[in-house]
Structures are given as structure tokens and as C-alpha cells.
Structure 1
Amino acid sequence: MPFRFRPSDDTVEAGFRRIACETLDGALALVRERAAPDEDLIHQVRRACKAMRGLLRLVRPAFPAWRTENAAFRDIGAALSGTRDRRVLGETIELLARDAGDDISPAALAALRTALTGEAARTAGRTAALLDGCAAPLLAARVRAESWSLTDHGKAALLPGLRQTYRKARRAMATLAALDGSPAESAASHEWRKQVKYHWQHMRLLRSLAPDHAGDRIAPADRLGDLLGERHDLDMLLDRIGAQAHALPDPAAAALLSALARKRIARLMRKARRVGEDLFEDKPSAFIRHWHFEDSPA
């Protein structure tokens, strides 16, 4: 279903409720129908929760209940995060193994993978229970969404939140640049990624109201989010290697994986900076002046 406001929405508030209810209906259908492997369903439900948080941030200044509702979707997503970590750790190890070639033997790689994903793997048998557990909070949010209300209308309900998230993404980019090479860099990169993802959600939401502005930004924002997401996965693996260094079966292989991860992070960040500098070139005041909605809801 389209995740966007429509010119045909009677009001921004009506469009806000419609998008929320459609997104939550989709998530509930995933939980109830179980038409895919549980791990895939968990990934899709987490994506729906992130989409909801992006929607809430767009109208945040005009939505008095935003803090409570944002926390509800954050908590649902957090409860499902363990299965994501297990899958991503394994995929990231395999990615680096391709870079390593013959420098890591299959036996050493298998032993490292077992050691590094073992803690997360204990969640594997709990996926069905995790899906069952998120059904009630999703349904409760769906019921609440039918009566959500905004304190502003038209572009006044949309532009302040759009500007706020753009400003946060731009500031997070600058913070990361200032921390280049410091121990705090990975946390700053993760924060930038979160704000970029929210900005991407906003472009998706507004693409029918302002196609000339939002439409051109969707692909680069998505690309930047992917680059920073891969960097986050590599950081997570580096953290796991560091935390378990004393117990890993092949320290030399682990050290090689770490070196390859850092090398790959450097490449990713060069690309991310180029995309980010183009995407967030304008100051927030200049960025928001470009936005004029044609045939937008009241």
C-alpha cells in the first residue's frame, strides 16, 4: 500500500490517520497470516514500526501524543531486534570472508561465525513467540490511530517536522565529520543513519504532494541510509569481536576480519560523505523555502 499523503486526502489529519491505519493493518496481517518465514516477518514488522516512527516525526510539532506513540513503536521494534542481530552478524561475516579470499580457511571462518553469533542465535527458537507478543501492542496502536488528532492543518502540520528532521540529519552529519577517527565515531554514524532514515521516510510521505522536491530526494536518501546501515553492521561485528576477543577460537582470523571491516568502513564513509554533502547542502531555512505543496490537503 502507498506510504504517502495524497492530494485527495480531505485534510492532513485525515491523511495522517489513513497512512497510520494502513501501515498498522499491514503489520497485523503479517503477524496473523504467517505467510513467510518468521525471521522475514519480523524484519517486515520492524520496518513497519520504523515507518510509523517516521510518520510521527513528520507531524511531531502538531501531534501532542507523539512522545507516547513513538515510544510504543520503539519498544515493539526493540523487542524484535535480537533476530535481526543474529542474521546480520552472519551476513556481515560472509561479506568480509569474500574480501579475505583464501586468507581465512573455511574451518576458521565457521568457528568464528559460531562463536560470534552464538549469543544471538539463542533467539532463533523464539521468533514465533516474538511475533505473537507484538500482536497486542500493534492492535492497541491501530485502535488509537483511528482517533489521532493534530493541532495544525495543511502545510503548518507538515513543514515544521520536515525542517526539524532535516536539521537533525544535517547536524548529525557535521558531528560525525568532526569525530572522524575517534572512538565515538560509530555512535555518531548510527545517529546520522537514524536521522537520514527519517528524512527518507518524509520524502516518501510527501512525494505526491511535492513531487519535484521529494521525488528527487528519495533515491539518494535511500542510498545514504544503505551505506550507513552497512557501516552499522560492520561496527556491530567489530564490537562483538572486541567483547569476545578473549574467547575466540582463532585470534589471527578475528584480527583479519577486524582489519577488513575497518577498511570497508573507510570506503563506505567516503561514499556516504559525498552523498550526504549533496543531500544536506542547504541550511534548514533555505531547504524549507523550496517546499510548496500543490493541491495539498487542508
Structure 2
Amino acid sequence: MSFHFKKLESPAKAVRRLCREHIGEALGCLRNSRHPGAVHGVRKEIKKLRAIFRLVRGEIGRGIYRKAAKALRKAADRLAAPRDARVTLKAFESLAGRAAARRFPEIQKTLQKHCRRETRRFRHDDSIAVADQILRQINRRVGDLIIKADGWAAIEPGLKQSYRRGQQACARVRQKPSPENFHEWRKHVKNLWHYLRLLCPDWPAEARVLTDKLELLGEQLGDDHDLGLLKQFVAERCAGQTKEAAALNQLIASRQEKLRSAALKLGVRLYARTPAAIGRRLGQQWNAWRGETRRH
């Protein structure tokens, strides 16, 4: 399902509707939590919910935003272990390819065992119940969200801030390319991408190109992060497989170098404009889609 603003919908109505729809999707994934991809699906919906609250933070107030963000973060954290285990295994399989069982048999077994163990633990603890309760509590409060500004005025401050923070995060990565800085940059890239998909289903070509490139950048940074999880797992849990670990770490380093180089090259281009220019241009296009005249 594609979630986005409707042409004749006020920001207040759109935000409340979209929050409820994303919560509904997340609860549906929780009901199907035995499916391997369900946990990942819940976390994705939670991230989108947090992004919506962040987009209109200036309208709903910092207190309400922080309370919602804290609750959603708690729900996501309860689902992190099985998701990270599965993602780490997938990163290994993607990196090692068909040679995985031959070149890294012990590491592969350790990863598979860890993934099964985290999945079993998740199914027998109260993580699903906790996440379900949090989402239902937020759903009951969505109707109380107050957004007074209308049109682009309700949206532009949050979007400009998102672009500015991504720009700053990109600069920090260029200055200090640490795993933490790359991961932080990824969060802002994903937020801006979510906003563009959320705001309009039919952007003109210029904004579609920006959306597509943000998606690619997010994927590059996401792959880099997943490889970082794999590297950490090998260091912490595969100490006895010295030769395998050394060979795998070489593959990880090579792949991360390529991903980070490509991400920086793309990111520098995407974040070359000022937040004001981005806000102004996207506002013109959004208002044109809605059939409105931009008010100054």
C-alpha cells in the first residue's frame, strides 16, 4: 500500500489518517510475527511513523513529539534483536554469495544458529505484546493532534530541517568517515526520502529524480550499516575462526569502501543546495500538484 497526502486534504487530516494507516500496517505485521519478514515490516512502519511526527514537530509541539518518539523507539528496540540477526545473516549471504558454505562454513553456522536463537527468544518473550500496546496507545491519541497551519506552511519547516540535518551529517562524514557518522547520515537521508514519498504521489520529474537518488543513497548507506553489523558479529562471536574471519573482514572492508565512496559522491550532489532553496522549490511543485497558489 502507498501512503501519501491527498490533493484536497489538509495537513492535519492527512497526518492523522497516515498515522492510523501506518499503525494499522504495523499491527498487521505483528499479528503475522511468525513470518520471517514481519518484524522488519513492523520496524519499517514505526520508522515511518516517527518520520511523520518529526515532520510536523513544530506544529504538534516538542512535548507531544518527544513522548511519541520515545514510545515508538521503545517499541522498535524491543524488535531489534531478531531483525538485526536476520539482517546480519542476509548481509553475509549477499557478500559471500554461493561460496559461503565453502569459504566460511563455521561463520555461516554461527550466524544461522544465532538467527534461530534470536527468533525463538523473540517468539517467547513479551516484545510483541509491548509493541502492540504502544502502537494502540498512540493510535488512540492520534485524533488529538493539533496542526493549525495549513498547506505548505505546515510542512516546509520540518522538511527544511530534515534537509539541513542531512546536509550537516554529510559534512561530518566527509570530515570523519566513522561508522557512527555514516549511520547517523543514513537516518536523515531516509527521513527526507519518506517525506517526499509521503507528500506527493505524482511529483514532476525534478522531484522524482531527487526522490529516486535519495532512495539509492539510503540503500547504499543501509548496506554499509548491515555490513558493519556483520563485522561486529564476527569480532564478538567468531573469535575461534581466525582464518575465516580474516578473509571475511577483507571482503567487508572492500565492499564498504565501494559503498561509502559511491554514497559520498552521490550525497555531495544531493546536498549541494540550501534548505531554503529546497523548501521553496518543492513547495512550488507541491502547491502546483494541489492546484494552490503559494502564499507568502
TM-score normalised per structure 1:
0.87
CA distance in 2, matches of 1:169, 1:277: 10
Q: Equivalent residue for 1:280?
A: 271
Q: CA deviation at 1:38?
A: 2.9
Q: CA deviation at 1:241?
A: 2.3
CA distance in 2, matches of 1:95, 1:208: 32
Equivalent residue for 1:43, pick from 32, 40, 43: 40
Contact 2:196-2:211 within 8 A present in 1 as well: yes
Q: Equivalent residue for 1:88?
A: 87
One-letter amino acid of the structure 1 residue matched with residue 120 of structure 2: G
Check if 1:228 corresponds to 2:226.
Answer: no
CA distance in 2, matches of 1:15, 1:115: 46
Equivalent residue for 1:114, pick from 82, 85, 109: 109
Q: Equivalent residue for 2:68?
A: 69
2:163 aligns to what SS in structure 1? Answer: helix
Q: Equivalent residue for 2:54?
A: 57
One-letter amino acid of the structure 1 residue matched with residue 22 of structure 2: T
Greater displacement, 286-295 / 166-175? 286-295
Q: CA deviation at 1:254?
A: 0.3
Contact 1:17-1:146 within 8 A present in 2 as well: yes
Q: CA deviation at 1:210?
A: 5.3
Inter-CA distance 175–109: structure 2 relative to 1 (3 Å threshold): same
Q: 1:116-154: per-residue Cα shift (whole Å, max 9, x none)? A: 565554321134353333211111111111221124332
Q: Equivalent residue for 2:243?
A: 252
CA distance in 2, matches of 1:26, 1:242: 36
Equivalent residue for 2:158, pick from 154, 161, 178: 161
Contact 1:38-1:127 within 8 A present in 2 as well: no
Report matched runs for 1:20-31 at 5 Å.
Answer: 20-31=19-30
Contact 1:39-1:127 within 8 A present in 2 as well: no
Count of residues paired in the alignment: 285
Check if 1:199 corresponds to 2:192.
Answer: yes
Contact 2:220-2:263 within 8 A present in 1 as well: yes
1:39 aligns to what SS in structure 2? Answer: coil
2:235 aligns to what SS in structure 1? Answer: helix
Query: Kindly, what percent of the aligned residue pairs are identical?
Result: 28
Q: Equivalent residue for 1:79?
A: 78
1:38 aligns to what SS in structure 2? Answer: coil
Check if 1:176 corresponds to 2:173.
Answer: yes
Q: CA deviation at 1:86?
A: 1.1
1:150 aligns to what SS in structure 2? Answer: coil
CA distance in 1, matches of 2:184, 2:115: 23
CA distance in 2, matches of 1:223, 1:210: 17
Contact 2:193-2:215 within 8 A present in 1 as well: yes
Greater displacement, 188-197 / 120-129? 120-129
Q: Equivalent residue for 2:145?
A: 148
Q: Equivalent residue for 2:134?
A: 137
One-letter amino acid of the structure 1 residue matched with residue 170 of structure 2: M
Contact 1:21-1:146 within 8 A present in 2 as well: no
2:191 aligns to what SS in structure 1? Answer: helix
CA distance in 2, matches of 1:264, 1:52: 32
Contact 1:154-1:296 within 8 A present in 2 as well: no
Unaligned regions of 5+ residues in structure 1, if any? none
Q: CA deviation at 1:225?
A: 0.6
One-letter amino acid of the structure 1 residue matched with residue 76 of structure 2: G
Q: CA deviation at 1:31?
A: 2.5
Q: Equivalent residue for 1:267?
A: 258
Unaligned regions of 5+ residues in structure 2, if any? none
Contact 1:38-1:128 within 8 A present in 2 as well: no
CA distance in 2, matches of 1:223, 1:153: 32
One-letter amino acid of the structure 2 residue matched with residue 177 of structure 1: R
CA distance in 2, matches of 1:244, 1:209: 47
One-letter amino acid of the structure 2 residue matched with residue 284 of structure 1: P
Inter-CA distance 98–174: structure 2 relative to 1 (3 Å threshold): same
The root-mean-square deviation of aligned C-alpha atoms, in Å, is 2.3
